[in-house]
Amino acid sequence: MNEIRHAQAKAHHLAGEFDAARRLYDEILADDPADHDASFRLGILEWQMGNGESALVRLRTALARQPSQPRYRLGEAQVLASLGRLDAAEQACRRLLADAPDTIDAWLTLAAALETAGRWNEAAHAYESLLRHEPAHADALNNLGNCRRQLGHWDAARAAYRSALAARPGFASALTNLGALLQTRGLLDDAIGLLREAVAAEPAAAAHQANLGVALAAASRFEEAADVLAHARRLDGASADIAYNFGIALHALGRPREALAQYRAAVALAPAHADAFNNLGIVLKELGEFSDAAAAFEAALRSRPDFVAARNNAGSLARTLGRMDDAEAHYRAALALQTTEAGTAAGVSAERSATYNNLGNVLKDTGALDEAVDCYRLAVECDPDNLVAHSNLAYALMFQLDDGHAILAECRRLAQRHEAPFLAVAPEHRNARQPGKRLRIGYVSADFRDHCQSLFTVPLFEHHDHDAFEIVCYSSVERADAVTNRLSSHADRWREVREFSDERLAELIREDEIDVLVDLTMHMADGRPLLFARRPAPVQVAWLAYPGTTGSRAIGYRLTDPWLDPVDGMQGDDRYSECSIRLPETFWCYHPLSDEPLAPTPPAARTGGVTFGCLNNPCKLTDRTIGLWARVLQAVPGSRLVVMAPPGQARARLLGRLAIQGIDTARVRCVPFRPRADYLRTYHEIDLALDTFPYNGHTTSLDALWMGVPVVTRVGTTPAGRAGLSQLSNLGLEILATHTDDDYVRMASALAADVEALTALRAELRPRMQRSPLMDGARFARHLENAYRAMWERWCGHEALGPAPALHA
pLDDT per residue as tens digits for the range 188-247: 999 999 999 999 999 999 999 999 999 999 999 999 999 999 999 999 999 999 999 999
Measured from the Cβ of residue 756, the count of other Cβ atoms closer than 10 Å reads 8
pLDDT at 801: 41
Nearest one of 154, 201, 206 to 180, comparing CA atoms: 154
Q: Is residue 804 part of a domain?
A: no
Same-domain pairing of 609 and 744 = yes
Q: Is residue 6 part of a domain?
A: yes
For the cut 50, the answer to whether the pLDDT of residue 343 exceeds it is no
Q: Is residue 211 part of a domain?
A: yes
Phi, psi of 728 (to 5 degrees): -70, -35
Count up the domains in the chain and report the number.
5
For the cut 50, the answer to whether the pLDDT of residue 341 exceeds it is no
Confidence bin at 39 (pLDDT 50/70/90): confident
Amino acid at 628: L
Same-domain pairing of 563 and 628 = no
Same-domain pairing of 493 and 567 = yes
Q: Is residue 96 part of a domain?
A: no
pLDDT at 571: 58
Confidence bin at 345 (pLDDT 50/70/90): low
If you count them, how many residues does the chain have? 809
Q: Is residue 93 part of a domain?
A: no
Residue-wise pLDDT tens digits, 129-179: 999 999 999 999 999 999 999 999 999 999 999 999 999 999 999 999 999
SS3 20: helix
Same-domain pairing of 344 and 454 = no
> In sequence order, what are the beta bridge partners of 60?
none
Domain coverage including residue 177: 170-236
CATH of the domain at 351: 1.25.40.10
What value does the mean pLDDT of the chain take?
92
For residue 587, the 8-state DSSP code is: S
pLDDT at 764: 96
Same-domain pairing of 743 and 641 = yes
What number is the average pLDDT over the span 46-74?
81
Confidence bin at 569 (pLDDT 50/70/90): low
Amino acid at 534: R
pLDDT at 458: 98
Q: Is 695 left (phi over 0), alpha (psi -120 to 50) or beta?
A: beta
Measured from the Cβ of residue 432, the count of other Cβ atoms closer than 10 Å reads 9
Residue-wise pLDDT tens digits, 436-478: 999 999 999 999 999 999 999 999 999 999 999 999 999 999 8
pLDDT at 347: 67
- The whole-angstrom separation of Cα 625 and Cα 16 is 84
Same-domain pairing of 580 and 632 = no
Domain boundary among 530, 556, 589: 589
Phi, psi of 443 (to 5 degrees): -110, 130
**The model's pTM:** 0.83
Q: Is residue 161 part of a domain?
A: no
Residue-wise pLDDT tens digits, 468-504: 999 999 999 988 999 999 999 999 999 999 989 999 9
Contact by Cβ (8 Å): 216, 192: yes
Residue-wise pLDDT tens digits, 212-224: 999 999 999 999 9
Same-domain pairing of 458 and 565 = yes
Domain boundary among 423, 451, 479: 423
The alpha carbon of residue 658 and the mean position of all alpha carbons in its chain are separated, in whole angstroms, by 34
CATH of the domain at 739: 3.40.50.2000
pLDDT higher for 355 or 62?
Answer: 355
